């Protein structure tokens, strides 16, 4: 009878930089019977900065829990590491918040259905009912949770209930500001797709601002959500050329393609455990 396939693990490490980190992590993995498949790293300075490392490894014992506990005591504590150990074969469960714009949501659902994104969309929540049929066609639960200034606390309590247990929340052109209490209640990272090349044109209507400014590029930014609007750590960005002949509607149309590709790359990189926070920025390995 053939041996069960090895577990493939991912080890993410962030710590104060010093000599000996790579040797200690590699020796630990080797002593644990793991075979390193890939290793990427970044130091923020020649000496004394912050060190980031992403290591993928094959683990014949398949005991990721045991490896995680041993790494904590044998290595992480000594180097003052923040770290995670995840199973590469376990798809992330994501919840999506959306309003009326469908292009980013449908792109995520389509890529997931095609197997391009290794995620499980657990639920789509919208403050409008419009997208229920489209979401239903993908066999994904859709919940309409209306949001008004008066009902926002109750609405966010319901959203938190529906998002319990997800690994990631994606704001796919969700046009409501998420409160600090919802961020705290959910506890999982949130990624927003902002429809401009931040830091330009924050707020709700960036394409109108872009047209009025006469820009020659429009873009999109995927960033982690913080309480402060559009100020969270940037994960991915891109742009497309535009000119004076394009109306605001043209900018919106041209920008939508960029939004979709930027969001899908950001969600993929996050779910592949490639993104680490460095203050209000990110390191993507």
The region of 26-34, 117-125, 227-235, 238-246 touching ligand LMY7XDAE under the rule CB under 6 A is: 227-235
Stretch 230-249: interaction string toward ligand LMY7XDAE, x if CB under 6 A: x-x-----------------
Pair 62, 34: CB distance under 8 Å: no
Comparing CB distances to ligand LMY7XDAE, the nearer of 52 and 174 is: 174
By the rule CB under 6 A, 275 interacts with ligand LMY7XDAE: no
Among positions 176, 188, 209, 261, the unique one binding ligand LMY7XDAE when judged by CB under 6 A: 176
By the rule CB under 6 A, 186 interacts with ligand LMY7XDAE: no
Comparing CB distances to ligand LMY7XDAE, the nearer of 57 and 207 is: 207
Comparing CB distances to ligand LMY7XDAE, the nearer of 113 and 176 is: 176
Axis-axis angle for helices 248-271, 103-113 (nearest 10): 40
Q: Is 250 designated active site? A: no
The region of 58-66, 123-131, 137-145, 176-184 touching ligand LMY7XDAE under the rule CB under 6 A is: 176-184
By the rule CB under 6 A, 227 interacts with ligand LMY7XDAE: yes
By the rule CB under 6 A, 194 interacts with ligand LMY7XDAE: yes
By the rule CB under 6 A, 229 interacts with ligand LMY7XDAE: yes
Comparing CB distances to ligand LMY7XDAE, the nearer of 192 and 252 is: 192
Q: Which residues contact 4 (CB under 8 A, 6 or more apart)?
A: 62
How many CB atoms neighbour CB 272 within 10 A? 18
By the rule CB under 6 A, 203 interacts with ligand LMY7XDAE: yes
Half-sphere exposure of 109 (CA within 13 A, CB side): 23
- Interface residues with ligand LMY7XDAE (CB under 6 A) are 171, 174-178, 192, 194, 203-204, 225, 227, 229-230, 232
């Amino acid at each position: 009878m053939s041996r069960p396939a090895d577990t493939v693990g991912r080890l993410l490490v962030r710590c104060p930089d010093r000599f000996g980190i790579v040797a200690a992590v590699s020796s630990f993995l080797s002593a644990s019977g793991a075979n390193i498949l890939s290793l990427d790293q970044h130091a923020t300075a020649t000496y004394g900065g912050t060190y980031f490392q992403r290591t993928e490894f094959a683990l014949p014992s398949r005991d990721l829990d045991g490896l995680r506990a041993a790494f904590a005591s044998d290595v992480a504590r000594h180097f003052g590491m923040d770290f995670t150990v995840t199973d590469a074969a376990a798809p992330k469960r994501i919840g999506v918040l959306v309003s009326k714009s469908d292009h980013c949501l449908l792109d995520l659902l389509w890529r997931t259905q095609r197997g391009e994104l290794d995620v499980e969309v657990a639920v789509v929540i919208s403050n409008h009912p419009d997208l229920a049929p489209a979401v239903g066609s993908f066999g994904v639960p859709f919940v309409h949770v209306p949001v008004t200034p008066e009902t926002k606390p109750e609405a966010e309590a319901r959203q938190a209930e529906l998002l319990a247990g997800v690994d990631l929340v994606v704001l796919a052109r969700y046009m409501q500001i998420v409160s600090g209490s919802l961020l705290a209640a959910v506890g999982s990272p949130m990624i927003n797709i902002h429809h401009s090349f931040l830091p330009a044109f924050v707020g709700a209507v960036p394409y109108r601002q872009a047209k009025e400014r006469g820009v020659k590029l429009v873009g999109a930014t995927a960033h982690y959500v913080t309480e402060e609007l559009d100020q969270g750590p940037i994960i991915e960005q891109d742009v497309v050329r535009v000119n004076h002949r394009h109306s605001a509607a043209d900018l919106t149309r041209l920008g939508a393609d960029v939004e979709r590709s930027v969001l899908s790359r950001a969600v993929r990189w996050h779910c592949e455990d490639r993104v680490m926070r460095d203050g209000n920025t990110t390191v993507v390995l």
